[in-house]
Amino acid sequence: MINRRQHLLALAAATTLAAGTAQAQSDTVKVGVILPMTGPSASTGRQIDAAIKLWMAQSGGKAGGKKVEVIVKDDAGVADTTRRLAQELVVNDKVVALAGFGLTPLALATAPIATQSKTPMVVMAAATSAITEASPFILRTSFTLPQAAVGIAEWAPKNGIKKVVSLVTDYGPGNDAEKYFTERFILNGGTVMEKLRTPLRGADFAPVLQKVRDAKPDALFVFLPSGQGAQFMKQFGERGLDKAGIRLIATGDVTDDDQLNDMGDVALGVVNSHHYSAAHPSAANKKFVADFQAANKFRPNFMAVGGYDGIRLIFRGLDTTKGAGGEALLNAMKGQIFESPRGQILIDAQSREIVQDIYIRKVERKDGQLWNIEFDVQKAVKDPGKLK
Ligand code: PHB
């Protein structure tokens, strides 16, 4: 006769088997998306959520013969909340993939859960280079700051900018932007006069802008996370830095399409480098922007495109695995190539990192609106943060 312990084990095994079969046979698979829908980074959540809804409407919400249910959770930009929500989505909802992640600390807090539960995790927004190294289950459809910052560091010294001050937000992506911009700028013969930082929360730019005025560089290089650009631009203008002949160069996070149109004349002429502009002149992007604006009454920014491509990546993976998750889904997403609204992208199979074109753009007024107009491109840029 079997003892009680063996009986319990057999019961547990049977239950697991039944649950597994139910999941395999179910005609619905779930994807868990965690975003800052409230708090200081709410614009990132709003953009990505809208892009995912657009994809769901366009695709009919089916992949691999299954209905895909997207569960969106709000972490308000708080890392402990992101981690708890990820745990709940994996354990209770049995999601086949986790996605979203509006800020670097939120992605890093979730990485151990992806690893332990073998759940693929698609980073749609956060952009510190090291994120994809935090778990073998992480793939990225946003960008990295080294990718974005090197473009403007190449352009500036060839265009009369020899002395700069740099200004970044004091956390992961800011460290990357400062490091990769200044290294490349110095390599190209430039001088970095000062490296300034502002805090992630509650940044007031007045004190640092006064320092920049006093230093009188040819240009100020800036990285700030999406959502802070308009406030910065306003203070840059109010302090008269543009009138004092100090040029502004940046990563495209600062001239973010979410806010650009409200920034006014002070933004005109700002040269910056990034992977996506709503003005990108391809047929695929024109359709994306038109469909997005028809559904939302606001312009998509680079966060929206990270979300749109991220959900498409998950759908394509599910098409291959016929709806299965875990390592099969991870492997099915590696090496994908497709045409994004930003241009062609590749998810490098080895690094799970995005390879994409980086554009040099200038803010111009066209048909009464402000846009980042692309005038040069670096093709198929791999993350410089992984090349050492
Ligand atoms: C990040 O926290 O990784 C982040 C957020 C917003 C950006 C770029 C990077 O625009």
Q: How far is CA 237 from CA 256, 264, 356, in A?
A: 17, 10, 33
- pLDDT, one tens digit per residue, over 45-72 is 999 999 999 999 999 999 999 999 999 9
Phi-psi region of 5 (alpha: psi -120 to 50; beta: other; left: phi over 0): alpha
Give residues (CB < 6 A) around ligand 1: 103-104, 126-128, 173, 225-226, 253
199 vs 218: CA distance, rounded Å: 24
Q: Whose CA is nearest to atom 7 of ligand 1?
A: 225
pLDDT at 366 over 50: yes
Write b or e for each residue in 342-375: b if 16 or more Cβ atoms lie within 10 A of its Cβ, otherwise e. Answer: bbebebbeebbbbbbbbbbbbbbeeeeebbbbbe
What 3-state class would DSSP assign to 59?
helix
**Angle formed at CA 356 by CA 352 and CA 359, multiple of 5 degrees:** 150
| pLDDT-above-90 percentage for the chain | 92
Q: Are 191 and 163 in contact (CB under 8 A)?
A: yes
User: What are the beta bridge partners of residue 356?
Assistant: 381
Residue nearest to atom 2 of ligand 1 (CA): 103
Model pLDDT for residues 290-308, shown as the tens digit of each residue? 999 999 989 999 999 999 9
Alpha carbon of 356 to ligand 1 centroid (Å): 17
* pLDDT mean over 19-37: 79
Cα dihedral: 45, 356, 317, 104 (round 10): -40
User: Which residues neighbour 383 within 8 Å (Cβ) at sequence distance 6 or greater?
Assistant: 129, 144, 146, 147, 351, 353, 354, 355
Convert the pLDDT of each residue in 236-288 to its tens digit.
999 999 999 999 999 999 999 999 999 999 999 999 999 999 999 999 999 99
Q: What is the mean pLDDT of the chain?
A: 94
DSSP, res 200 = S
Q: Residue of the nearest CA to atom 6 in ligand 1?
A: 225
pLDDT tens-digit map of 180-218: 999 999 999 999 999 999 999 988 999 999 999 999 999
Report pLDDT digits (tens) over 91-134. Answer: 999 999 999 999 999 999 999 999 999 999 999 999 999 999 99
Q: What is the pLDDT of residue 203?
A: 84
Q: Summarize the confidence of residues 71-84 as an average pLDDT.
A: 98
Rounded to the nearest angstrom, the distance between the alpha carbon of 374 and the centre of ligand 1 is: 21
Here the tokens at position 146 are 């080294």
Q: Residue 12: its pLDDT value, please?
A: 46
Tell me, yes or no, if the pTM score tops 0.75: yes
Alpha helices in the chain (DSSP H): 4-25, 42-59, 79-91, 104-117, 145-155, 172-187, 206-215, 229-238, 283-296, 302-321, 326-333
DSSP summary character for residue 156: G
Is residue 80 scored above 70 in pLDDT? yes
